[in-house]
Structure 1
């Protein structure tokens, strides 16, 4: 098996991989490709034996040998997708995931070689990776659009726009509408626009990032909003429960009766309790301090 280190370097996953042909640290993609091409290929009998051991006994060592011997297949398939501008190493890594899925599901009793079975899984993982990462905006969401996406580039002759005849021919070949071919060609040929300005030009200050950004989904803001809502409900009720009945009544009458904050005045409550307005203010101040301590503990 292979894995990617924190520095993005492709390495064999363990000593078993080294025993199968890897030697030393693979510091770049060329070294990795050279190493996997030196790994021995399996005969039909060896492949069947390993696949049977995996199927019947869940033999992970057999699974590893099956994967390692087919890493060169992933490299070969990945070369066909370099035209989308994505890193070769990333394509290989995604293809390796597809290969491992294929090995896990491979049934030697079906009478086909693993190489034929694995190609579907390898390409599927690469296709998914390309569609998710090639552009910020998804260019292919339906099965027909995916088919068109991966065939349009190879069917175009040169970099010029397709002629009406070429559009009709491709639409007929792929069984899609000619309008879909035209739209996909426009989306694939459109240039990328930087989200943020890359110069000091005044015009660059109005790059898309200026009007597309929003703080609504910023994780910190979401957490703060959730904490605030919790304090407004559970936290406030907990703090009020710490007060004696008179103090709670004063706080609720002063601050919680109306949404606009226009509660009872100090003089209103002074008349209700038969004390001075200053005494109501003192009770209110002490109650607010007690609530603040309770809210801090709650949070």
Structure 2
């Protein structure tokens, strides 16, 4: 939050920035060329000072995101310097037009990194929604509606070219502030009051589920190894290469390796699978239900 001293300093900075005269196209081109070709820092300073008012103007548009105005201006200055470093005067584009994109991008990136402790706007769709959702919300019933309906989400999604799920996710994020997981669930003064982190669901398997899964995996491995023992050497090679690898070897490749046709490889594979299924049926009533030969 800006202190009174910071606010006075910001006003002095803006007042000085507004007194710097604008550059005509010829002078702007000359300064940009001197910086680009000769690395003339005096030319760079004159060029960037002339467009400090552009930084102030863009920073003012983003004052409603709860971040210090002085920080927005400083981030905009970073964008201005990036624009000066990349600007190519020979392309015939005014520096102010080119710099506007860099200044806005720097300010928006700063807001997305600091608006919340949880990173926001990690995709292009979410970034567009973050900076436009409030404006579009205001168009719906003059901004008086608290919760968006499905029709509202469709309206916003079509206006911004994003998905309705993205609209719902960003709207929920903007409507809810950050909350500490250690904050109490209620205001009670009891020593045993629960915290929000106590209500988080754990997606990990329970200990008994982990034991059961490990046991079942071990049994399946034993059954498969027992079934593989019923195969001859050539059948075993084909099954291992075709069924037990992350990327199956092609029939043609195996045929060349074994000196037989790819059709013969397919026939042997089919017969080997039937042999394994018969071996498993002798031990397991339903191999597919047990996760075998599905």
TM-score (structure 1 length as normaliser): 0.57
Aligned-partner Cα distance in 2 for 1:27–1:146: 32
1:51-200 mapped onto 2 (5 Å cutoff): 51-157=32-138, 158=143, 160-194=146-180
- CA shift, 1:151, in A, is 1.3
Contact 2:76-2:103 at 8 Å conserved across structures: yes
Aligned-partner Cα distance in 2 for 1:205–1:8: 40
Aligned-partner Cα distance in 2 for 1:60–1:204: 64
1:218-229 mapped onto 2 (5 Å cutoff): none
Aligned-partner Cα distance in 2 for 1:117–1:102: 7
**Runs of 5+ consecutive residues of structure 1 not aligned to the other structure:** 1-6, 11-25, 213-299
- CA shift, 1:139, in A, is 2.1
Q: RMSD of the alignment, in Å?
A: 3.0
Contact 2:113-2:120 at 8 Å conserved across structures: no
SS at match of 1:36: helix
Contact 2:157-2:167 at 8 Å conserved across structures: yes
Which moves more between the two structures, 66-75 or 188-197? 188-197
Aligned match of 2:28: 47
Which moves more between the two structures, 35-44 or 93-102? 35-44
Structure 1 residues 86, 205: closer, same or farther in 2, change over 3 A?
farther
Contact 2:125-2:166 at 8 Å conserved across structures: no
SS at match of 2:36: helix
Contact 1:140-1:149 at 8 Å conserved across structures: yes
- CA shift, 1:103, in A, is 0.8
SS at match of 1:141: coil
Contact 1:197-1:204 at 8 Å conserved across structures: no
- CA shift, 1:46, in A, is 0.8
**Runs of 5+ consecutive residues of structure 2 not aligned to the other structure:** 201-294
Aligned-partner Cα distance in 1 for 2:133–2:19: 35
Structure 1 residues 172, 68: closer, same or farther in 2, change over 3 A?
same
Structure 1 residues 65, 168: closer, same or farther in 2, change over 3 A?
same
SS at match of 1:46: helix
Contact 1:33-1:72 at 8 Å conserved across structures: yes
- CA shift, 1:128, in A, is 1.1
Aligned-partner Cα distance in 1 for 2:14–2:97: 21
Structure 1 residues 52, 171: closer, same or farther in 2, change over 3 A?
same
Contact 1:197-1:205 at 8 Å conserved across structures: no
- CA shift, 1:133, in A, is 0.5
Structure 1 residues 87, 195: closer, same or farther in 2, change over 3 A?
farther
Aligned-partner Cα distance in 2 for 1:67–1:188: 35
Aligned-partner Cα distance in 2 for 1:76–1:101: 18
Aligned match of 2:19: 38
- CA shift, 1:129, in A, is 0.6
Contact 1:63-1:103 at 8 Å conserved across structures: yes
Contact 2:79-2:99 at 8 Å conserved across structures: yes
